[in-house]
Amino acid sequence: MNVRKGVVGVALMLLACGARGLGQEYGPPDRGEPGDEMIQAYLAREADRIHAGFLNEVKALEDWQSRRPAYKEEYFHMLGLWPMPEKTPLRATITGTLEGDGYRVDMIHFQSRPRLYVTGNLYRPAKVDEGERLPAVLYVCGHSYQGRSGNKTAYQSHGIWFARHGYLCLTIDSLQLGEIGALHHGTYRENRWWWHSRGYTPAGVECLNGMRAIDYLTGRPDVDPERIAVTGISGGGAASFWIAAADERVRAAVPVSGMADLPSYVNNRVINGHCDCMFLYNTFQWPWTRIAALVAPRALLFTNSDADRIFPMDANDRIINRLERVYSLYGRTDFVDAVVSIGGHAYRQDIRQAAFRFINTQLKNDPRVVEDSEVDLVTGPRSEREYPIPIEKLRVFPEDGDIPGDELNTTIDERFVPMAKVEPPKEGEFDGWKANLLAELKRVTFGYFPERIPPAKSLSEKGSDPLSQGGLTPFRTELARVETEPGIVIPLKYDTVFKPTAVAKRILLLIHVHDGDAEKPNLNIAHRFYHAGDMLYVLKARGVGPTRWTRKNPPNYVERSHVLLGRTVDTGRVWDVAAAARYLHEKHKHEGSEVIVLGDGAAGVLAACAALWEPEIDGVVLGDPPLGFMDDAAPPLLNVLRVCDVPEVLGMLAPRLVTVLAEKSDPLDRAAAIYAAAGAKDKLVIESE
């Protein structure tokens, strides 16, 4: 059956059409700050580079199949699900049953993990022959606010239709907008930037909840485990992809308006129209369509609307063509299809008909046109909606007092992804301990870094760059510009107050990342550690001072776009520090000068991280640094807490000299234990401020 040709429209695209072609933008680009154009161009280049890599290494089915197990592991990791959580008892409980016209509805909850409650409505036929096993549909919900009754109640029409046509349909609430309201908007508006360090995305919760819902369905005696489908719109469309890509038991998937691609999300700012549940953290720099391609060769109906602002048609066309390429490897292009409806972001009759017909075809071998899709619909404007079933009757927990007191839903972001527990090395084992941690950090936190970051390139502000002349000639302009990464140009200032009278013994590089006082770095730490003969430079990392970009909360476009490219703003700043330090080392190497990097607060942690990757950083000074990446003052670094915490970062710098200005504490004791194991106990200096 070719639904795409038989319904409303056809998703067409010329494969030669580039990602930078005319696309549907989500509002105009920010231009209010001096660094807006630079960072947006950088993000677009990186998005295009990653997007262009789709199937580069896949020439035949054997190539795809050989890579698929590794892809699945990476996929689960990017959702915060690797290693996969233990399948604990579901403890499924039915709290009530409603009798309808030709159907029954059970109010049900289960625990996808202990105390992580999933509330749902199970629609089933009113009459089932004894011993009969029925096909089942998991319906996952979009963002429809229904208050305490949960967003599942807005999609009751689908459950009713499926039950009347011989299916079991389990409609489950999402983490946010469910009966136990939690959060999808941690980085979108709540400034929970530690989500990035923790590797937590609510998409992982939605995926796990869906997989455990399938566990429940396939464990029922009235369900045929070989005939399972998943569908939903918007946030439910995205969740349909998460679940179908993860769970091989899904035989057919119908995601409706659930996916765009990197050129759309990043270059055209469509990310601004979405909350955090729509995205995994792209640690391994995937072309986004690879997520959907994991469904192949199982049946997939890619459904969208031609005027949908948050799932625009240029992305839709690129995705379906890429999917067809993957399905063609299997010789199964008839198992992937697309529907394009005319209109905005919503269900319409043709979408419902296509979804029902596709699932009938795949699970019941019944390709007939669906004639009764418009029965028992939710109707009316949002403030005056009319429901086939009053939504209060579909509550799993009828009263507030019925909500389990032990629920973890509202704090699941603090628990879902385990933090690493790193034991200090034993004496004589430091080198191997460090190598293992560095390898994992390189894999999941700094994955886009090259083997070694090149030195920054000097650019001139006025005339020739004084740094390029060698020697100790002070800047006339005091300011040079350096390109640390292609397209990232930031200021590097030589401070003429701190100047040596002879050859510099030490090059002090002060890192400035404080946005609140962007033009005035705190020189206190430099004053404290300056010795006669030192030379001081100040580096304003990307996003600070003359390269600051627009910050709007919500949607935090720049910060959130970075994780779709496998990085954060602050891993970029680590790159800046490493590149600038290497540059200064090379400019002054004829003098034999040491390079010491200094920073207050978060800047000190960034300096320490840069020293992990740049061997020419001879020492680090940290002023009152946050000692854990869960600290709101800490720089967010993707997945870092799944590997180690700040004390381990400091410990890995042994035997280099590290000075910490802070009161002694348990975290610093951990760093000291690592230095002791490395035989460099005296090289970690802790001074009270």
Q: Is residue 423 part of a domain?
A: no
d(CA 554, CA 217): 38
Structure confidence at residue 42 (pLDDT): 98
- The percentage of residues in the chain with a pLDDT greater than 70, rounded to a whole number, is 92
How is 367-393 classified by DSSP, letter by letter? -PPP--TTSS--BS-GGG-B-SS-GGG
pLDDT in tens, 345-400: 999 999 999 999 999 999 999 999 999 999 999 999 888 899 999 999 999 999 99
What local confidence, expressed as pLDDT, does residue 516 receive?
54
Residues 280 and 358 in one domain: yes
Q: Tell me how far apart the alpha carbons of residues 81 and 242 are, in angstroms, rounded to a whole number.
A: 12
CA distance 76 to 207: 10
- Judgement on whether residues 357 and 465 belong to the same structural domain of the protein: no
Query: Residue 16 has what pLDDT?
Result: 31
Is residue 664 pLDDT above 90, yes or no? no
Average pLDDT, the chain: 93
Q: Helix, strand or coil for residue 66?
A: helix
Q: Is residue 50 part of a domain?
A: no
In a domain, 394, yes or no: yes
Q: How confident is the model at residue 521 (pLDDT cuts 50, 70, 90)?
A: confident
Higher pLDDT residue, 467 or 142? 142
Task: Please state the length of the chain.
Answer: 689
Residue 303 falls inside a structural domain: no
Position 460 confidence tier, pLDDT thresholds 50, 70, 90:
low
Last residue of a domain, one of 380, 414, 448: 414
pLDDT tier, 522 (very low <50, low <70, confident <90, very high otherwise): confident
The CATH number given to whatever domain includes residue 381 is 3.40.50
Q: What is the domain extent for residue 243?
A: 61-291+346-414
In angstroms, the CA 233 to CA 256 distance is 4
Residue 10 belongs to some domain of the structure: no
Residues 435 and 380 in one domain: no
Distance CA 627, CA 611 (A): 17
CA distance 145 to 391: 12
Judge whether residue 27 has pLDDT over 60: yes
Specify whether 282 is located in the same domain as 231.
yes
pLDDT of residue 14: 29
Query: What was the pLDDT predicted at 470?
Result: 38
Mean pLDDT for 31-37 is 97
- Domain membership flag for residue 135: yes
pLDDT-derived band at 497, boundaries 50, 70, 90: confident
Do 187 and 268 lie in one domain? The reply is: yes
pLDDT band at 591 (very low <50, low <70, confident <90, very high): confident
Shared domain check, 528 and 399: no
574 pLDDT above the threshold of 70: yes
| 262-280 tens-digit pLDDT | 999 999 999 999 999 999 9
Instruction: For residue 537, give both structure tokens.
Output: 């430079």
Same domain flag for 134 and 218: yes
- Higher pLDDT among residues 599 and 3, named by residue: 599
- pLDDT tens sequence across 179-192: 999 999 999 999 99
Tokens 């096909």 correspond to 135
d(CA 180, CA 403): 7
Average pLDDT of the residues in 418-424: 97
117 with 255, same domain?
yes
Nearest-10 Cα torsion for 9, 14, 19, 25: -30
Say what the pLDDT of residue 501 is.
Answer: 61
pLDDT digits (tens, 9 = 90+) for 143-157: 999 999 999 999 999
Among 549, 539, 548, residue whose Cα is nearest residue 575: 539
Work out the percent of the chain whose per-residue pLDDT is above 90. Answer: 87
The CA radius of gyration of the chain, in Å to the nearest whole number, is: 28
Q: Which of 275, 262, 315 is nearest to 142 (CA)?
A: 275
From the centroid of its chain, how far is CA 237?
A: 17
3-state secondary structure of 346: coil
Which of helix, strand or coil describes residue 612? helix
Q: For 296, which DSSP code?
A: T
Report cis status (omega within 30 of 0) of the bond before 655. Answer: yes
Residue 597's CATH number = 3.40.50.1820
Residue after which a domain boundary falls, among 389, 414, 439: 414
Q: Is the pLDDT of residue 199 over 70?
A: yes
Mean pLDDT across the stretch 427-441?
97
Q: Residue 3 above 60 pLDDT?
A: no
- Residue at 22 is within a domain: no
361 and 463 both lie in a single domain? no
**Cβ–Cβ < 8 Å for 315, 261:** yes
- Calpha distance 472→455 (Å, rounded): 20
Last residue of a domain, which of 414, 443, 459?
Answer: 414
What is the number of structural domains in the chain? 2
Q: Does residue 517 sit within a domain? A: yes
Verify that 583 and 640 share a domain, yes or no. yes
Supply the pLDDT for residue 502: 67
From the number of C-beta atoms within 10 Å of its C-beta (0-12, 13-18, 19+), residue 127 rates as: exposed
383 and 500, same domain (yes or no)? no
pLDDT over 80 at 142, yes or no: yes
Cα torsion 324, 327, 328, 333: sign:
negative
Using an 8 Å Cβ cutoff, are 258 and 237 in contact?
yes
Are 366 and 449 members of one domain? no
